[in-house]
Structure 1
Amino acid sequence: MLFYPFLSTSTFILFKLSSQSMQPTLFSSVHLTVSQLTFHIRKQLEDDPTLQDVWVDGEISNLSKPASGHIYFTLKDKNASLRCVIWKLDAARLRVNLQDGMAVEVHGRITVYEPQGQYQLIVNLVQPKGEGRLYQEYMRLKAMLEAEGLFDSERKRSIPERPQTIGVVTSATGAALRDMLNTLRRRLPLARVILAASPVQGVEAPPALVNALVSLNKQNPDVILLARGGGSIEDLWAFNDERVVRAVADSKAPIICGVGHETDFTLCDFAADLRAPTPTAAAELATQTTVDDLRAQLDYYTARLTDLTSNLLAEQKAGLSALASRLKYVSPERRIQSEYQHLDELSRRAFSAMNHRIQLQASRVDGMSKRLQSLNPEGVLSRGYAIITRKDDGRVVGKVSDAGGEMKVRVSDGEFDVSRKS
């Protein structure tokens, strides 16, 4: 059997089948399952020594380095592309830091990945052939813009913690927009979102992106998200365009750039105020304070306001109680009550003093009465004494010389007349 590399796969299959021992008839053809046909193609490719020890030149695109340690990429030139795989052990021995856009020479063998029916190159060696055209342009622009200071850290502005208006520049039909809107709706539904739709790849993308940024800045958003999903270096090239990079640097509002995947770096990432690894991450970085944080803050301030209000009410209540006590102390009613009490006290003291004085006077009267009784002539008369008075003038006869004429003699039970005989 001979192999003709210029023949297509289908032509090659027909040629190989026709060389088999089975002779096709005019009225029948070979019937195979998909698996049988794919296996047959794989066997033909792997049996060809030229395809099992081949060097291929091309430019790396769609580079992927999953956690498994294997490396997947597409090797292409301007007319065709080839799927390539580097298994984990060979990837660990690589001395080249593979990047999208890099021109390389790779060595390996051709095989078929049967589940998808795709032929691919299993690579075991990679040698740099020189940086690709796009990568060279990327490095040239990066050096030029960096020298102008567009990437300086001093130019970076802080992202507001609680943006009220968020601008979004991306494709209106891409999955990136849906992911960002879902994230913004979940984390900060109070924010207003303004979309400035723009194509994100192709020749029409750079001027459209510039116009979107300019028009969006006129709306005075608090922050702008510039984003798109992942892709090859060609797909993301609009975000390396000098016009777009300068528009990002000139934006009045701070910009978060979330273009591609975590391993993708565009010039807009360096010019933006903050880089996000993905569009979803850009939406998360724009909403540093989420609605849950706002609820927690609201609960905190509500509890604090309640405590302050309770303390204030308690203080005011205590103040009112003190004022009420003072008012009650100086109130006319209290004064009247106090005067009533004072009057009662004075009355009690006056009554007590009066009683005491009456008792004292009564005691004195009683003493005097007893003294008077003791000095009462009638009392003396009862002891056998008599009082003699002159009848003519009523004088008491106290001496013999006073006696004369008619006289009265008073004794305890009466009186009688007497006369003095000379």
Structure 2
Amino acid sequence: MYENILSVSEITNLIKVTLEENFSEINVIGEISNFKAHVSGHWYFTLKDAEAQINCTMWRGLNNYVFFTPQDGMKVIVSGRITVYPPRGNYQIDVRSMKPAGVGELQLAFEKLKQKLAAEGLFDTEHKKPIPKFPKKIGIVTAIDGAALQDMKSIASRRYPLVELVIAPCRVQGEGAAQEIVESIKLLNQYNDIDVIIVGRGGGSLEDLWPFNEEIVARAIFDSQIPIISAVGHEIDFTIADFVADLRAPTPSAAMELATPDINELFAFINDFSYYFTENMFEIIKDYRYKINQLITSYGFRLPQDRIKNKIQYLDNIIFKLQTLIDNKITYNGKHLELLNSKINSFDVNNILKRGFAIVKQNEKIIHRAKELSLNQPAHLQFYDGEIIINEQEKRKFI
């Protein structure tokens, strides 16, 4: 009943072959919508116009060659081929290359990113770091083979030959340039002795300068711990890097002039200073001497001195009274000591014996009362001028 019946897979494969064979090389213009940069590195987005839309995929590796970051609302021209994804039956453009549909699209992307970063405060003055006046090392982020680097080296050698230049080479236009600029800025930030970084290149078209309008470059400049001078070679127009940088220079040569002092001006200053040094110093000393004399002779300056003198006199009086009190105390104690010594001497046994008294001892004991004396034992009498022992017969005779 039914002839030529096809399965879903068969009809899908037929469509896949038909589309992929007939649309193997196409160029399509449209507006980007629902752009998503996947963590895998692939890009997924929709390309649309007023009446239709088509899904697009751009694989990692191919999108590295796109010199700008696509944004929703940007009109672009993509080149690639039509492919079919059988599991869903969807067809899409497998994008191989992408470019803006015109300069106006880049300008639109520039304004959108500028508004976004300004709202986040990346352009605020309070975040700007000061540029050192006498740098020892200057980091440079630019193309190693560009004229801008040679100009900066020449100016640094002429203006301030003491400075050391540290080059972090990178591409400054085309695909992958923005990522290389970011990596060079991060590399220089790993050194702790670089005083300032110059990021830039010579002049060119808007497309040539576009890496300096990329968001990743702007955030790398903002996150840098080292002050950065933006030196993209254009006089009138600004890049996003100019707004984020701590200082903007119109050209790389001007950036090096802003980053370095002029050695001729330094020598001129030193010569002038040396010539007028003696005279200036004497004038300064004379002025300060006059001011000091005025201060010393002023009433306000004499008043503290008078107060100090009064306190010194008061202190002298206190010391004099204290010394007098101590002397009187010493004299009194000396006399009192003499009196005590006299009393002690009056009770000295030898002095008592001098007055005619004697000490009676018997059996090595002093006899204090007559009743304590034994008439049957010898007695020992001690006088001032000698001692006498009385035996028993003499005692009887004495009694």
TM over 0.5, yes or no? no
Which one has the largest radius of gyration? 1
Q: TM-score, normalised by structure 1?
A: 0.41
Q: TM-score, normalised by structure 2?
A: 0.44
